[in-house]
Amino acid sequence: MPHDLFTADNTYQPSNTATITRFQLTADQSIQKRSLGKTGIMVTPIGLGVMQFSGGGSSVFNVAFPDLSQETKSAIVRAALEGGINWFDTAEMYGLGRSENSLAHALKAAGKADGEVVVATKWLPLFRMAGHIKRSIHNRLRFLQGYSVGLYMVHQPWGFSSPEAEMDVMADLVEVGHIRSIGVSNFSADRMRRAYQALEKRGLPLAANQMEYSLLNRKIETDGVLAVAKELGVTIIAYTPLANGLLSGVYHKNPDLLLSKPRFWRAKIERHIGRTRPLIEALDEIAGRYQVTPAQVALNWVINFQGESVVAIPGASKIYQAEEAAGAMSFRLLDGDLTRLDELSRDYR
C-alpha cells in the first residue's frame, strides 16, 4: 500500500531547516526501539517506506511514481539511517522487485551489512495460491542482494488460499531460515486472529498487521483491528500516516499546489480541506512550541498515542523528507497535546 510523502509538491521546502538538521544528527542509541510483536526483532518507532523507489520502468505496479535516480535513492536511505531509522518497508508489488533492488543498492552504498538493518517486504497474493509464497521468496532474496527478510507479510487478503494455508507456508520459510518473522497487511480483526492462531500452532508469533492509520484515518480503533492487535501482542505498522500529505498543512496554506495533481486525487484532498482546518491549525501551533514541523507532530501522535502498539512508515522521495521522518522520533508529545489531537480527530474513527 502507498506510503506517505510529507508534501506532494516538488518545490516545497520545509521552513524549519535548522530543526531538521539537528534531528539528522540524532544518535541511533538515543532512540528507544520496539519489538515487532513478540518476535524480539527491535525496530525504531519510525521506519522508512520505499514504495517511491518503484518509479520508472513499464510495470503497472510502478504506480506512477517519478523515476528517481539511484543516487537520489541512496541519499534518501543514508539520511534515514543517519537520523536513527533502522528498518525499511518494501514489497514485491512495488515495481516487481524494483523497489527491493533499489533499497539493497542504497544500503550497500551506505556501508550497511545484513543484520545492521531490518528489511520488511511483502508477498502479493492477487490471483495466487499459498504455494506460490515458496516460489516467490527466492525472487525477494535475489532482489535484496544478500539482505535478509526480517519481516515477510501477506500484502492483501485477496489470495485464493485461506489465511491458515498462507501462514502455514510462511512458517515453513521461517523454519528453513528464508525469513525471520511473519506479518500480514490490511487484514481484518477476524482474519488477523485466524492468522495468529494458525502460527500459534506452529509455535510462532504473528509479528505485525500493516494498516492505514493516521489522525485522518482512525478506523482501526473502531473496527476491532487495534483491539485484537493489542490483545494478541501484534504490532500495527501504520502506512499513510500523513494522509497523503494533507497533515503537513501545505495544501491548506497553498491550495494552488493541488492544481498539478490528478483530478480524482485533487478532489479527494479538496473535500477535506475545510473540515480539517482546525486540526491543521492545532498541528501548526503545537509544532511551533516544540520547534518541529506539523508533519513531525502528526507522526509523533501516531507512534505514541497507542503506547508502543503502533510504528509508522512514512515515505520519502526527497532527502529532507527522510530527515523529517527521522526527526519525528527525537521528541515526545506531552499527554495533553496527544489528547487534544485525539479530540480534534475523533470524527475520523
Q: Tell me if 2 sits within 8 A of 240, measured CB to CB.
A: yes
Determine, yes or no, domain membership for 229.
Answer: yes
Which pLDDT band holds residue 309 (cuts at 50, 70, 90)?
very high
Question: Choosing from 94, 152, 239, 348, which is the catalytic residue?
Answer: 94
Q: Tell me if 81 sits within 8 A of 108, measured CB to CB.
A: no
pLDDT digits (tens, 9 = 90+) for 84-143: 999 999 999 999 999 999 999 999 999 999 999 999 999 999 999 999 999 999 999 999
Determine, yes or no, domain membership for 3.
Answer: no
Determine, yes or no, domain membership for 9.
Answer: no
Determine, yes or no, domain membership for 5.
Answer: no
C-alpha cell at 235: 504490532
Determine, yes or no, domain membership for 1.
Answer: no
Determine, yes or no, domain membership for 217.
Answer: yes
Single pTM value for the model: 0.90
CATH of the domain at 341: 3.20.20.100
Burial of 52 (0-12, 13-18, 19+ CB in 10 A): buried
Centre a 10 Å sphere on the Cβ of residue 281 and count the other Cβ atoms it contains: 14
The pLDDT assigned to 130 comes to: 98
pLDDT digits (tens, 9 = 90+) for 192-204: 999 999 999 999 9
Active site annotation includes 320: no
Number of structural domains (the chain) is 1
pLDDT digits (tens, 9 = 90+) for 4-27: 443 333 222 344 433 433 333 344
Range of the domain at 62: 17-348
Q: What percent of the chain has pLDDT over 90?
A: 79
Determine, yes or no, domain membership for 8.
Answer: no
Determine, yes or no, domain membership for 4.
Answer: no
